[in-house]
Amino acid sequence: MPQVTLTVNGKQHTVEVEGRTLLVELLRERLGLTGTHVGCDTSQCGACVVHVDGVSAKSCTMLALQADGTNVLTIEGLAAADGTLHPMQEMFREHHALQCGFCTPGMVMSAVDLVNAHPEGLTEKQIREGLEGNLCRCTGYHNIVKAIAAAWPLMHQKAAAAE
Amino acid sequence: MPFEGIGAAVRRKEDARFLSGRGNYTDDINRPGQLYAFVRRSDRPHARIGRIDTATAAQAPGVVAVFTGADMLADNVGGLPCGWQIHCKDGSPMKEPPHPVIAVDKVRHVGDPIAVVVAETKQAAKDAAELIDIDYQELPAVASMRDAIAPGAPMVHDDAPGNICYDWHIGDKAVVDAAFAKAAKVVKLELTNNRLIPNAMEPRAAVGDFDPNSGDFTLYTTSQNPHVIRLLMGAFVLHIPENKLRVVAPDVGGGFGSKIYHYAEEAIVTWAAGKVRRPVKWTAERTESFMSDAHGRDHDTVAEMALDADGSFLGLRVSTLANMGGYLSTFAPCIPTYLYATLLAGVYKTPVIYCEVKAMFTNTVPVDAYRGAGRPEATFLLERLVDACARETGMDRVAIRRKNFIPTEAFPYQTPVALQYDSGDYQATLDACLKAADYAGFEARRGAAAAKGKLRGIGISTYLEACGIAPSAVVGSLGARAGLYEVANIKVHPTGSVTVYTGTHSHGQGHETTLAQLVTDQMGVPFDQVDVVHGDTGRIPFGMGTYGSRSLAVGGSAMVKAMDKIIAKGKKIAAHLMEASVEDIEFKDGQFSVAGTDKSKTLTDISLAAYVPHNYPIEELEPGLDETAFYDPKNFTFPGGCHVAEVEIDKDTGVAEVVNFVAVDDVGRVINPMIVEGQVQGGVAQGIGQALLENAVYDESGQLLSGSFMDYSVPRANDLPMITVGTEVTMCTHNPLGVKGCGEVGAIGSPPAVINAVIDALKDYGVRHIDMPATPQKLWSIIQSGTPRMAAE
């Protein structure tokens, strides 16, 4: 069987996989990182979104072998090492942007990438359009939109302060 | 200490684990030595099954076993039971054909299980399932109720002539006909309540485990009610006694009703685990969810309102066809009867009502409760009909509602369709909603939209629902085969922390937070020292689970009773410790004090004394501070309110956009306003989805055309507006918390508000009614074919 070597949440793994093994299957079933979810089989729901080399990707639509040599960040790796939540996680909690929690990991990972990609600012319309690839059945998105809008200044101020 | 009791918008306890990827959903559970099941399903809507050749599949790499329905029958496995029996007009019981776990001689819908492969990996099971050779003898199918009821239609079940499951009614037809005979005006509408597919984001999953040493079975499953599953599966399907069967519903990723029912796959993995003596996991692919999760709604209705000359409602007459699908799902028969027809009074004092319902078998996935369950169907019918009454009598649609509202002084109000409402103030919710939606300023917004070439409309829905289910004796007399009380066990531990074991189940509602707030409020225990345990029959007492917005009204009430017992016992212990009389002990904010003195003991002092009973009234009182209470509600609860939707339709594309939505609901006392707001917003999103986007479509042959997220339109962020939520409170008069329930109001009140707005936007096109979903194609066609009447007309 072919081998894939990749870094997940800062830790390097080398795993033998079938050619058809999906990245999400590698994460969930081989590495035990069950925070990344599978909600559909047509690449529509976004519950499986992770970051591959810093950019959001649907891990159900990527072969594990395609991730060879990449740096993958999953929801388990988003908080600081001491457990301090990422500002996006904190704002999701503060604004009640999750109910059942199933879409949440993918939603948060997409939202982080969306905010990162828009240092100039984000309108409500841009946030809603930016979530095109993520379905939530519980919240009606109202509080997700609020949480992302609230996370934007926290994420960009933090970036500005570090420079 | 921040206020964390009743009324505080406390942030949720559950969020830290969900936000960090540490949730524990069924598919996240892996047992040592676990195998994987894949279900081979029918791709034919209706067929006799001849030979099923599993030999090649059984030899495929990694396959451990292949099972068919015949194997289960040979092992004395029973069919999936129905939990509610309806009696027909003539007194005869409904037709209740068998529902085999795996189809035996015939398949009745696309998705019906035919065989199951158990293998070392998911992929091996799936690959092998394709190798099963099935000899189908195709039969003509009935996909729609119109086809099913036609003379000579193919029969889904041999023992259900005319495909009729039951022909039921409520009300006195002669009295209602007499009211129509003397009416000044009769307004009639034919409506369809579109079939929906619930689509909780977590697909159903189940893991069966068997311990050969003890003979114990454990089922981990995506359920809203693990004890109900244990009872149904243990007693009726697999014949496993309760002491040998544990059912765990861990973190569950949304339910909306679809995870109430006992499904085939739960029985399959549990039974198969016993056969192969290894754990067996099954997880639905989304495609399977579409064709095996119970669907919702699907009514065809004719409704007529009789009015007198000044617009008062004299009588309502309704005839409905309700789709049951290919088999009876667990609670299917009660949805279009006791959760639908009994709601037809709504918020109005209509004096007489008659409703008849024919429930039909078709070659489609079984239909059961989906968020609102019967009440959205009743509300859509009523609120569309009331709008039509306004238009056809020339009355204002707000005025006709106000004129016919049940007035506040009429409570308790007995409707002509069995229910007795305890409280409500429909003028208040209407006033608050119209104000928040700036109803008065609408015409200016309509004009501004017209200037941009858009058609703007506003729609109102004033609704009521019945939830907090339910008084056991009442539902028993109506055909329920279960009690619907709830239970709570509350343990005050020796050093004062508290664990609540509730029979309700949280799958997004935030019970771990809201129920803890009750303990903080009533017993003064700090919020962070209260844990709520749910979802495991091995830990919680026998409770009925969560559906019908019942968790606070019924489960919360059971907690209040248990806390009352704890406080009563604590007072006796306190009286002993402080050498006072029990009558003089007061309990407040976690302190037991002797009235009129400065003597007091904390709850922790009392709990420690209860578990270390050295100085303790041991002759009169048992040690421990651990109480269980069961609460059987005295009545349903009746949340209600007003929803106002504003839409803009693009004339060139026919796309209707909800540009403003305001809900003002009376859900009784609010425990956590943040959670209530979130529940209403989520419900409204599903209601807007039903009104504009979602539709389960079968073609004439019975193939499901809308079988994926690419064909079935679950609302996305860009399909929805911000949703403004307000509350007006009248207390429920018959439960100790005064709570009514908030889980379903959003999905119940909103669809007619949206459609009324769409029709208002198209008022110049002569449109009388539009069935849901109001898709761009439908609206574009109306705009293209209609000639707008001139404003001066």
Contact B729, B665 (CB under 8 A): no
Provide, as residue numbers in chain A, all residues whose Cβ is less than 8 Å from the Cβ of B283. 38
Which uninterrupted H or E stretch holds A109? helix A104-116
Of the residues A45, A77, A109, the one at which a domain ends = A77
Cβ pair B27:A38 closer than 8 A: yes
By CB neighbour count within 10 A (0-12 exposed, 13-18 middle, 19+ buried), where does A20 fall?
exposed
Q: Name the nearest CA neighbour of B701 among B114, B40, B135, B154.
A: B154
For residue B487, pLDDT over 70 is answered with yes
Put simply, the answer to whether B685 touches A139 (Cβ < 8 Å) is yes
- Segment B139-156 shows an average pLDDT of 97
A36 near B CB under 8 A: yes
* Cross-chain CB nearest to B19 (options A18, A104, A145): A104
For residues A72 and A100, membership in a common domain is answered with no
Whether A74 contacts chain B with CB within 8 A: yes
Pairwise CB contact (< 8 Å): B23 & A35 = yes
A91-132 pLDDT, tens digit per residue, is 999 999 999 999 999 999 999 999 999 999 999 999 999 999
Instruction: Count the neighbouring beta carbons within 10 Å of the beta carbon of residue A111.
Output: 30
Confidence of residue A162 (pLDDT cuts 50, 70, 90): low
The distance of B423 to chain A (nearest Cα, Å) reads 28
Residues B491 and B354 in one domain: no
Q: Tell me: the pLDDT tens digits for B393-431?
A: 999 999 999 999 999 999 999 999 999 999 999 999 999
Q: Which residue of B has its CA nearest to A107?
A: B19
The answer to whether residue A108 is domain-embedded is: yes
The nearest CA of chain B is from the CA of A161 a distance in Å of 25
- Does pLDDT of B791 surpass 60? no
* CATH number of the domain that residue A43 is part of: 3.10.20.30
- Does residue B790 carry a pLDDT above 90? no
pTM: 0.97
Average pLDDT, chain B: 97
**B178 token code pair:** 């007499």
Residue A82 lies in a domain: no
B753: three-class secondary structure by DSSP: helix
Which residue of A48, A99, A148 is the best one to mutate when testing the B interface, meaning the one whose CB has the most B CBs within 10 A?
A99
Residues A92 and A142 in one domain: yes
pLDDT digits (tens, 9 = 90+) for B702-758: 999 999 999 999 999 999 999 999 999 999 999 999 999 999 999 999 999 999 999
Q: Which residue has the tokens 């009769």?
A: B186
In A84-103, the residues whose Cβ lies within 8 Å of chain B are 85, 89, 92-94, 96, 98-103
End position of a domain, from candidates A52, A77, A102: A77
- Same domain? For A95 and A149 the reply is yes
pLDDT digits 0-9 by tens, B276-319: 999 999 999 999 999 999 999 999 999 999 999 999 999 999 99
What ranges make up the beta strands (E) of B149-279? Answer: 164-170, 185-193, 205-211, 216-221, 245-248
- Residue A158, min C-alpha distance to chain B (Å): 20
Average pLDDT for B379-389: 98
Residue B371 reports pLDDT greater than 80:
yes
What is the pLDDT, as a whole number, of residue B748?
Answer: 98
- Are the Cβ atoms of B11 and A20 closer than 8 angstroms? no
**Rounded mean pLDDT of B116-131?**
98
Q: Is-contact B532 B516, C-beta < 8 A?
A: yes
Domain extent, residue B216, equals 18-139+202-253+259-292
At A136 the pLDDT is: 98
The count of structural domains within chain B is 3
Q: Is A59 on the interface with B (CB under 8 A)?
A: no
- Cα gap B550→B544, rounded to integer Å: 10
* Mean pLDDT of all residues in A18-39: 97
pLDDT at B786 over 80: no
Give me the pLDDT at residue A157, please. 84
Measured CA to CA, the distance from residue B791 to residue B704 in angstroms comes to 44
Q: Is residue A101 part of a domain?
A: yes
Task: Tell me if A35 sits within 8 A of B22, measured CB to CB.
Answer: yes
Q: Write out the residue range of the structural domain in which residue A71 sits.
A: 3-77
Q: What is the pLDDT of residues B26-74, one digit of tens each?
A: 999 999 999 999 999 999 999 999 999 999 999 999 999 999 999 999 9
Is residue B173 situated within a structural domain?
no
B140-143 long-range contacts, CB within 8 A, separation 24+? B140/B46, B141/B45, B141/B46, B141/B363, B141/B701, B141/B702, B142/B46, B142/B362, B142/B363, B142/B702, B143/B45, B143/B362, B143/B363, B143/B364, B143/B698, B143/B699, B143/B700, B143/B701, B143/B702
**B684, closest residue in chain A (CA to CA):** A140
Does the structure show a pLDDT above 50 at A68?
yes
Whether residue B347 is predicted with pLDDT greater than 70 in this model: the reply is: yes
Q: Are B629 and B566 in contact (CB under 8 A)?
A: no
- B787 pLDDT more than 80: no
A44 to B710: CB separation less than 8 angstroms, yes or no? yes
- pLDDT for B793: 36
**Among A115, A123, A125, which residue's Cα sits nearest to residue A153?**
A115
- The two tokens of residue B473 are 């004796």
B413: in domain: yes
Any idea how long chain B is? 793
Nearest CA in chain A to B718: A128
* Within a domain: B152: no
B400 CA: distance to closest CA in chain A (Å): 31
- Could you count the other beta carbons within 10 Å of the beta carbon of residue B453? 9
Closest CB to A39 among B123, B286, B718: B286
d(CA B785, CA B763): 14
Domain identity same for A91 and A157: yes
- Answer yes or no: do B20 and A89 touch at CB < 8 A: yes
Is residue A161 scored above 80 in pLDDT? no
DSSP state of B556: I
Q: Would the CA dihedral through B472, B475, B481, B482 be positive or negative?
A: negative
- Of all residues in chain B, what percent carry a pLDDT higher than 90? 98
| B693 plus B707 within the same structural domain | yes
Q: Identify whether residues B227 and B337 lie together within a single domain.
A: no
Q: What is the mean pLDDT of residues B532-556?
A: 97
Residue B507, pLDDT above cutoff 90: yes
Partner B contacted by A53 (CB < 8 A): no
Write the CATH number for A107.
Answer: 1.10.150.120
> What pLDDT is stored for residue B523 in this prediction?
97
Residue A160 has pLDDT above 80, yes or no: no
Tens of pLDDT, residues B691-702: 999 999 999 999
Q: Residue B792: its pLDDT value, please?
A: 35
Asked which of A56, A77, A98 is the last residue of a domain, the reply is: A77
Q: Which residues of chain B make contact with A148, given a CB cutoff of 8 A?
A: none
Instruction: Examine the domain organization and report whether A53 and A96 are in the same domain.
Output: no
**CATH assignment at residue B730:** 3.30.365.10
Q: Is residue A59 one of the residues assigned to a domain?
A: yes
Cβ contact, residue pair B286, A41, below 8 Å: yes
Q: Are the Cβ atoms of B19 and A108 closer than 8 angstroms? A: yes
Find out whether B283 and B269 touch, Cβ atoms under 8 Å.
Answer: no
Disruptive mutation site among B10, B201, B546 for chain A (greatest number of A CBs within 10 Å): B201
Q: Within an 8 Å CB–CB cutoff, is residue A6 touching chain B?
A: no
Within 8 A of B507 by CB-CB distance, chain A residues are: 100
User: Do B525 and B624 belong to one domain?
Assistant: yes
Q: Evaluate whether B233 touches B266 at the Cβ level (below 8 Å).
A: yes
pLDDT of residue B97: 98
